[in-house]
């Protein structure tokens, strides 16, 4: 489902952020993309979604990420931004959930059904008609997940989904993520969360893949993690 | 509460008012837009000396305030900066037009006085009609209505995104203002020496945020045209609503109802 081949990306200043990144992933794989700040995690995700130009090739669902294929790729991919305030731009949760389906021409009836189904799945039916500026950070994060689920994406990409959340809301998000069938790529510094939600981990360090393997193996390798500016998950310390 | 926070709240309050559930809110945006435009055009077209005829036009805003339950003081509060300007418009008329038009209990009412009063009332009416439109129609629905009457997409999208961008800008300004005052206790406003960096940073931060919002929109299928709600087609009641009010405005414009009523009692 995901094929990333020799992907590199540099800023205009020449500073290389991604260097020759290659990996593949099958349908439904649950991947944790970890690394210290500035390792290139967010840049790689943006490249996968065609938000930045890159060298190399990326194929999602067998389709190469190119300007003319972005619409198809984006309709099958959901991206949850780290900051929900930057993702939710409509007055109400409901309006935000309507945005993508309307863009892709889904019928109002079908969208309504999907919205109700997603809100029920995430157990946040009460948020449907709430104003985005009147809900808490945790509720907003759940709503931002709901917003992308309404398109029933085959691949979900999440940027730091548990950042700034209290333990209860963090648990809610983890449970919500684990209830999803779609394949996923999650970037986070919350390695305990990665341990609970992903089977495979790709460790980035200074724009290169330092390790790629099973989550329990990489997340328990203290030396490797420390070399890349990380620490063992708290639950393993 | 800080001024910027108040501005953010004002904006959001308008969104909340527009999402109300009164009977007026349920009429189509196009019907309300049409009524508002006709109302403003009619009010403006009254002669500067036809104060009594114009007064009947107050019936529309009064009815809408009553039906929607929108407090009149909310209107006064939100229009607090514009209302004085409107009232200022005709202030000099009494100096230029001193023809005596009416004597009331020995008091000479000049043409300038009447035209000043009429101008002020016209301004008030137009403002209240615009406010009521904004308070009963969500911006998305309004934009959808504008598209229906073939307003160019670029203008409508610009209107919508500007409206959204203002709140982004104010949000960022509010965060920066808070951070500034936490490190400048007791200081009123932002010191002149910090204006340059403050506004520069504000611009950069709001650009960044707008960029993220734009990316979020693109990732959800945005391709330059905003997906307005596929509003239901106008129903019979929408036509009745619009036709009813337009008929009333035309009646007010061509028949001086207060004079007519007065004649019933005074021969």
Size of interface A-B (CB pairs under 8 A): 65
CB-CB: which of A46, A99, A151 is closest to B227?
A99
**Tens-of-pLDDT digits for all 237 residues of chain A?**
899 999 999 987 778 899 999 999 999 999 999 999 989 999 999 999 999 999 999 999 999 999 899 988 998 999 999 888 888 888 889 989 999 998 888 998 999 999 999 999 999 999 999 998 889 989 999 999 999 999 999 999 999 999 888 999 999 999 999 999 899 999 999 999 999 999 999 999 999 999 999 999 999 999 999 999 999 998 888
Q: What is the mean pLDDT of chain B?
A: 86
Contact B213 A108 (CB under 8 A): no
Closest CA to B122 of B71, B70, B49: B49
Number of CB atoms found within 10 A of residue B10's CB: 13
Helices (H) and strands (E) in chain A, counts: 10, 10
Residues paired with A25 in a beta bridge: A2
Answer with the residue of higher pLDDT: A235 or B225: A235
pLDDT at A212: 96
- Please check the confidence at residue B154 and state whether its pLDDT lies above 70: yes
Rounded to whole angstroms, the Cα distance separating B237 from B28 reads 9
pLDDT at A183: 93
CB-CB: which of A51, A71, A91 is closest to B215?
A51
pLDDT at A228: 93
Hey, is the C-beta of A71 within 8 angstroms of any chain B C-beta?
A: yes
pLDDT at B232: 64
pLDDT at A210: 95
For chain A, report the end-to-end CA distance as a whole number of angstroms.
35
Hey, is the C-beta of A11 within 8 angstroms of any chain B C-beta?
A: no
pLDDT at B179: 84
* A59 contacts A65 by C-beta, under 8 angstroms: yes
* A182 contacts A158 by C-beta, under 8 angstroms: no
pLDDT > 90: percent of chain B: 27
CB-CB: which of A77, A81, A131 is closest to B216?
A81
Please compute the mean of the pLDDT values over residues B152-159 and round it to a whole number.
87
A208-217, B74-83, B255-264: segment of lowest average pLDDT: B255-264
pLDDT at B8: 79
**Which of B164, B215, B221 to probe the A interface (max A CBs under 10 A)?**
B221
Torsional sign, CA A218, A221, A227, A231: positive
Contact B223 A85 (CB under 8 A): no
**Which of A103, A131, A140, A146 to probe the B interface (max B CBs under 10 A)?**
A103
pLDDT at A215: 95
ipTM: 0.79
pLDDT at B16: 86
- Please check the confidence at residue B110 and state whether its pLDDT lies above 90: no
Exposed, middle or buried, A10 (CB in 10 Å: 0-12/13-18/19+)?
middle
CB-CB: which of A85, A100, A131 is closest to B220?
A100
Contact B220 A49 (CB under 8 A): no
pLDDT tens sequence across B233-253: 788 999 999 999 999 999 999
Please compute the mean of the pLDDT values over residues B214-229 and round it to a whole number.
79
pLDDT at A93: 93
Please compute the mean of the pLDDT values over residues B17-21 and round it to a whole number.
88
Q: Which residues contact B169 (CB under 8 A, 6 or more apart)?
A: B202, B206
pLDDT at B106: 81
Contact A51 B140 (CB under 8 A): no
Answer with the residue of higher pLDDT: B67 or B101: B67
Contact A102 B12 (CB under 8 A): no
Q: What is the DSSP string of B61-98?
A: HHHHHHHH---HHHHHHHTTTTHHHHHHTTTTHHHH--
Contact B216 A89 (CB under 8 A): yes
A51-55, A229-233, B69-73, B209-213: segment of lowest average pLDDT: B209-213
Hey, is the C-beta of A85 within 8 angstroms of any chain B C-beta?
A: yes
Please compute the mean of the pLDDT values over residues B73-98 and round it to a whole number.
83
Answer with the residue of higher pLDDT: B180 or B131: B131
Residues in chain A: 237
The torsion of the CA quartet A196, A198, A201, A202, rounded to 10 degrees, works out to -130
pLDDT at A56: 94
Q: Which two tokens stand for residue B69?
A: 């339950």
**Which of A72, A89, A114, A144 to probe the B interface (max B CBs under 10 A)?**
A89
* A69 to chain B: closest CA residue: B221
Hey, is the C-beta of A110 within 8 angstroms of any chain B C-beta?
A: no
Contact A108 B209 (CB under 8 A): no
Contact B230 A79 (CB under 8 A): no
Contact B221 A75 (CB under 8 A): yes
* A18 contacts A8 by C-beta, under 8 angstroms: yes
Hey, is the C-beta of A91 within 8 angstroms of any chain B C-beta?
A: yes
pLDDT at B32: 95
* A90 to chain B: closest CA residue: B164
pLDDT at B230: 57
pLDDT at B1: 55
Task: Report the side by side order of strands in the sheet with A16-25.
Answer: A16-25, A2-10, A55-60, A63-64
Helix, strand or coil for residue A64? Answer: strand
pLDDT at A219: 95
* A98 to chain B: closest CA residue: B229
Hey, is the C-beta of A102 within 8 angstroms of any chain B C-beta?
A: yes
Contact B12 A131 (CB under 8 A): yes
pLDDT band for position B218 (50/70/90)? confident
Contact B219 A77 (CB under 8 A): yes
- Please check the confidence at residue B229 and state whether its pLDDT lies above 70: no
Residues from chain B contacting residue A98 (CB–CB below 8 Å): 227, 229
- Please check the confidence at residue B228 and state whether its pLDDT lies above 80: no
Ranges of each domain in chain B: 20-137+235-267
CB-CB: which of B15, B168, B228 is closest to A91?
B15
Please compute the mean of the pLDDT values over residues B9-13 and round it to a whole number.
81
CB-CB: which of B213, B227, B230 is closest to A89?
B213
Residues from chain B contacting residue A114 (CB–CB below 8 Å): none
pLDDT > 70: percent of chain B: 97
pLDDT at B69: 92
Please compute the mean of the pLDDT values over residues B48-72 and round it to a whole number.
91
């Amino acid at each position: 489902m995901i094929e990333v081949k020799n992907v590199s990306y540099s800023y205009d200043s020449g500073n290389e952020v991604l260097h020759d990144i290659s990996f593949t992933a099958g349908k439904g794989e649950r991947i944790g993309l970890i690394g210290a700040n500035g390792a290139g995690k967010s840049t790689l995700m943006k490249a996968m979604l065609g938000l930045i130009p890159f060298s190399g090739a990326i194929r999602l669902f067998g389709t190469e990420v190119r300007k003319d294929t972005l619409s198809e790729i984006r309709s099958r991919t959901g991206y949850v931004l780290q900051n929900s305030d930057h993702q939710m731009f409509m007055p109400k949760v409901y309006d935000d959930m309507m945005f993508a389906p309307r863009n892709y021409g889904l019928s109002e009836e079908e969208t309504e059904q999907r919205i109700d189904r997603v809100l029920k799945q995430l157990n946040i039916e009460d948020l449907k008609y709430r104003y985005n500026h009147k809900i808490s950070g945790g509720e907003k994060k759940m709503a931002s997940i709901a917003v992308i689920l309404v398109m029933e994406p085959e691949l979900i990409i999440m940027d730091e989904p548990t950042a700034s959340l209290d333990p209860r809301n963090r648990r809610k998000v983890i449970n919500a993520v684990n209830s999803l069938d779609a394949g996923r790529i999650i970037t986070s510094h919350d390695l305990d969360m990665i341990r609970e939600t992903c089977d495979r981990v790709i460790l980035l360090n200074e724009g290169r893949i330092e390790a790629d393997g099973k989550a329990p193996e990489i997340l328990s390798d203290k030396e490797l993690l420390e070399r890349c500016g990380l620490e063992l998950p708290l639950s393993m310390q | 509460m800080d001024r910027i926070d108040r501005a953010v709240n004002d904006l959001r309050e308008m969104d909340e008012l527009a999402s109300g559930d009164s009977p007026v809110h349920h009429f189509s945006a196009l019907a309300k837009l049409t009524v508002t435009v006709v109302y403003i055009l009619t009010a403006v077209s009254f002669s500067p000396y036809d104060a009594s005829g114009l007064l009947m036009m107050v019936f529309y805003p009064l009815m809408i305030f009553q039906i929607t339950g929108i407090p009149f003081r909310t209107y006064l509060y939100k229009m607090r900066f514009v209302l004085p300007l409107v009232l200022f418009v005709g202030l000099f008329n009494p100096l230029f037009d001193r023809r005596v038009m009416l004597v009331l209990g020995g008091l000479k009412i000049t043409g300038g006085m009447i035209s000043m009063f009429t101008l002020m009332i016209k301004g008030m009416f137009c403002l209240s009609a615009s406010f009521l439109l904004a308070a009963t129609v969500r911006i998305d629905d309004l934009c959808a209505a504008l598209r229906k009457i073939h307003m160019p997409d670029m203008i409508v999208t610009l209107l919508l995104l500007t409206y959204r961008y203002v709140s982004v800008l104010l949000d960022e300004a509010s965060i920066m203002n808070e951070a500034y005052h936490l490190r400048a206790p007791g200081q009123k406003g932002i010191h002149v020496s910090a204006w340059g960096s403050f506004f520069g940073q504000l611009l950069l931060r709001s650009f960044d945020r707008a960029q993220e919002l734009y990316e979020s929109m693109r990732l959800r299928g945005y391709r330059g045209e905003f997906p307005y709600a596929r509003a239901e087609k106008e129903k019979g009641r929408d036509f009745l609503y619009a036709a009813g009010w337009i008929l009333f405005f035309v009646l007010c414009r061509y028949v001086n109802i207060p004079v007519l009523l007065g004649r019933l009692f005074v021969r």
